[in-house]
Amino acid sequence: MPREMLRAALGAVAGGRVIPYLGAEVAGLGGAIASPAALSAVIEAQVRVPKRAMGNLWAAAQYVETKKFRATVEKMVVGAFAGPQGPNPIHDWIAAVRPPMVVDAWYDRGLVQALRASAADWGLVQGVSRNGEWAEIWHRAYGADGTLHPEGADPAWPMLLYKPHGMAAPGHSFLLSDSDYVEVLTEIDIQSPIPDEVQNRRTGRGFLFLGCRFDDQLLRTYARQIAKRSGQGHVAVIEGELTRMERLFLEEMAIERIDLPLSAVVEELKDFGATV
């Protein structure tokens, strides 16, 4: 039964009826840092943070930003994701089937690289930090070649990649510290930080959550607000025991959980193809 549910969900993604929502664990398939705790450990290896902030990515980043300036934490995080990434079967499959939209809720650039290797008719819209910004800006849009689109995401793009937390890459911005998220979380309930084209493309569609855990309030808040006013039929592939808050979140959002490892998704994709 779980395998049948998974195949049906993947078929719905390929058919454009369901939006893939990728968490940090998906990036790990290509060798990138694969969890907030692991990225926090990278920061903590370079700057000693208070005990209360250890293991908490957002708090650790805030401490470094406060004590060592914003540029320091940005350099750490960009460096953490600068290494070469290997093949990623989920990224490659998404680049092949090219759904109308995909949400990539992590900082790596793996899916951007996979898309650039396969097509030119897609676009990126990403969340940006307002640190150092004077204008009221929540996100920026880019064409497939990296060209900035000041007018925002183009409705004519056949595929839209949405990175709500931004991207850790030179020339790009990302949200990381507690202060980055203060204004966003104040406004997110009225959807101001969610790009209009993201709101348009989620209408009538469900979400397939892959590589996501919802044991962190910030991650739950983002998933809740991105999926707000979308369609039905949400599915999440999460293996093993859930926390109490994860169980409540899945119930609240009417997300059907498939208790399988991410490796099961990779196995299904081997025979799935890009023409389902």
pLDDT per residue as tens digits for the range 223-258: 999 999 999 999 999 999 999 999 999 999 999 999
Residues 11-26 pLDDT 10s: 999 999 999 999 999 9
Residues 24-43 pLDDT 10s: 999 999 999 999 999 999 99
Q: Which amino acid makes up residue 251?
A: E
Q: Which amino acid makes up residue 51?
A: K
159-163, strands of its sheet edge to edge: 148-149, 139-143, 122-127, 159-163, 101-104, 18-22, 206-210, 235-237, 256-258
Written as one string, the DSSP assignment of 55-66 is T-HHHHHHHHHH
Written as one string, the DSSP assignment of 143-183 is ETTS-EETT---TT-SEEEEETTB--STT--B--SHHHHHH
How much is the pLDDT for 132?
64
2-32+88-272 fold: Rossmann fold (3.40.50)
Q: What is the pTM of this model?
A: 0.96
Q: Which residue, 144, 163, 147, is CA-closest to 27?
A: 163
Percentage of residues of the chain with pLDDT beyond 90: 89
Mean pLDDT to the nearest integer, 191-216: 97
Contact assessment for residue 100 and residue 162, using Cβ atoms and an 8 Å cutoff:
no
DSSP state of 71: H
Mean pLDDT to the nearest integer, 105-113: 97
The residue ranges of every structural domain in the chain are 2-32+88-272, 40-80
Q: Please report which helix (H) or strand (E) contains residue 115, including its range.
A: helix 110-116
End-to-end CA distance of the chain: 20
Mean residue pLDDT of the chain comes to: 94
Res. 274: pLDDT tops 60 = no
